Amino acid sequence: MAKPDLFQPWTLRDVTFPNRIFVSPMCQYSAEDGYPNDWHFVHLGSRAVGGAGLVMLEATAVTPEGRISPGDLGIWSDDHISEFKRNVDFIHAQGTAAGVQLGHAGRKASCAAPWVDGGRALTADEGAWQTVGPSAVAFSEDSPTPHALSVDEIGEIIEAFVAAARRAEAAGMDMIEIHGAHGYLLHEFLSPLANRRDDEYGGSLENRCRLALEITQAVRAVWPANKPLFFRISASDFAEGGWTIEDTVQLAAWLKDAGVDVLDCSGGGNVPNPDIPVGPGYQTEFAARVKRETGLATGAVGMITDPVQAEHIVHSGQADCVLLARELLRDPYFALRAAAELHGDVHDNIDVPKQYRRAFR
Ligand SMILES: Cc1cc2nc3c(=O)[nH]c(=O)nc-3n(C[C@H](O)[C@H](O)[C@H](O)COP(=O)(O)O)c2cc1C
């Protein structure tokens, strides 16, 4: 029987992912001053041992102010590089690819970890800092009002993304993903619900997309031409008057021209109580539509929890890869399990770590 499509290697530029099961970026809120530590090493290492085709590190801030919480990873200095590289080297030793999501939390920065009162805004005593955004529009009634970025300040953030991309390369990453989703800075510029500017960064769709495209172009210029660049989008705000899937399709075409290789299609995050029709694979249709209408490769994410479901998404051509988050927290060995459960011989589907082979006959 043919090898499942989920376990077909995928080559983008000069990087080959051994299979299509990717670790979706997941903040651990467990860093100090941005540095990965033993928690990250074991957490990421487990998922590499578990056979994922790509282990993508969580949203990693390009500036200290770009962190969601004080516990976020950050890569705003050269000193950070070696601790990232330690993780990359271990992931590579398991025969898988390593990447990192680069982001800026914008008006949703300066929060506690989610397990502290649901991730409320930090108080001054706890070290709250000034948040920033396209406009002085707060995310919710309980959120601080961001400082509206000047054009010069926008330029500094673009430079911070560029510097972060260079450091990701120095750490040996195979891919980077620009975080343009979930109500963080880039998404805030995209959505008319957060962006009320009347300069070249606001108003028309083209203007609202300007920052995302400028960052993409600037990053692509320094990120090696033989390594892929991903972009994560919230394909819909799921809110009246917000960003739509039609907007996403247009931006996807522009991002493709700017050198993005994969659009990672997520959703929501820009309004406090969105009306999201959550269910198995609830965002997969976004990935399918972008792929169909633009020809750009896509990743599907959101309640993908089952090997047959994951295989169906890739086999039917809805997306080129699946990104799993919570299921991979429940089971870091999901890829090994899927390789054993789907048709074919487990060892033809995946390279089981030699230390674990006696469990997989
Ligand atoms: C603990 C946790 C942390 C997350 N952190 C990030 C993140 O750093 N960047 C991001 O784009 N999405 C983040 N997400 C969202 C996931 O990547 C994913 O898009 C979402 O959970 C839906 O996928 P799932 O149904 O497989 O969990 C996080 C999700 C969880 C559960």
Kindly give the distance from the C-alpha atom of residue 58 to the centroid of ligand 1, in angstroms, as a whole number: 9
Contacts of 263 (CB under 8 A, 6+ apart): 230, 231, 232, 233, 252, 255, 287, 290, 296, 297, 298, 299
Mean pLDDT for the chain?
97
Which neighbouring-strand residues pair with 17?
A: 10
- CATH number, domain of 32, equals 3.20.20.70
56, 100 in Cβ contact below 8 A?
yes
Instruction: Locate 127 and state its tokens.
Output: 């070290």
Cα 106 to Cα 148: distance, rounded to the nearest angstrom: 10
Tell me the whole-structure pTM to 2 decimals.
0.98
User: In this structure, which residue's CA is closest to atom 29 in ligand 1?
Assistant: 26
Q: Is the pLDDT of residue 1 over 80?
A: no
Q: Count H helices, E strands: the chain? A: 11, 13
Task: Look at residue 155 in the predicted model and tell me its pLDDT.
Answer: 98
- For residue 16, what is the enclosing H or E element? strand 15-17
Task: Look at residue 316 in the predicted model and tell me its pLDDT.
Answer: 98
What is the band of 245 on the pLDDT scale with cuts at 50, 70, 90? very high
61-90 burial code (b ≥16 CB/10 A, e <16): bbbebbbbbbbbbbbbeeebbebbbbbbeb
State which ligand 1 atom lies nearest to the alpha carbon of 179: 11
Catalytic residues: 184
User: In this structure, which residue's CA is closest to atom 21 in ligand 1?
Assistant: 325
Task: Look at residue 344 in the predicted model and tell me its pLDDT.
Answer: 82
Which neighbouring-strand residues pair with 300?
A: 265, 322
The total domain count for the chain is 1
Kindly give the distance from the C-alpha atom of residue 25 to the centroid of ligand 1, in angstroms, as a whole number: 6
What domain range includes position 348? 5-359
Distances (CA, A) of 167 to 34, 99, 122: 13, 12, 29
Task: Look at residue 201 in the predicted model and tell me its pLDDT.
Answer: 98
Cα 177 to Cα 291: distance, rounded to the nearest angstrom: 18
User: In this structure, which residue's CA is closest to atom 14 in ligand 1?
Assistant: 26
What is the band of 361 on the pLDDT scale with cuts at 50, 70, 90? confident
Ligand 1 probe mutation, 22, 23, 24, most atoms within 8 A of CB: 24
DSSP one-letter code for 122: P
Residue ranges around ligand 1 (CB below 6 Å): 24-27, 58-59, 101, 179, 181-182, 232, 266, 301-304, 324-327
Cα 278 to Cα 326: distance, rounded to the nearest angstrom: 14
Q: Is the pLDDT of residue 343 over 90?
A: no
Ligand 1 probe mutation, 21, 22, 23, 26, most atoms within 8 A of CB: 26
Task: Look at residue 42 in the predicted model and tell me its pLDDT.
Answer: 98
What is the band of 2 on the pLDDT scale with cuts at 50, 70, 90? confident
Cα 177 to Cα 26: distance, rounded to the nearest angstrom: 13
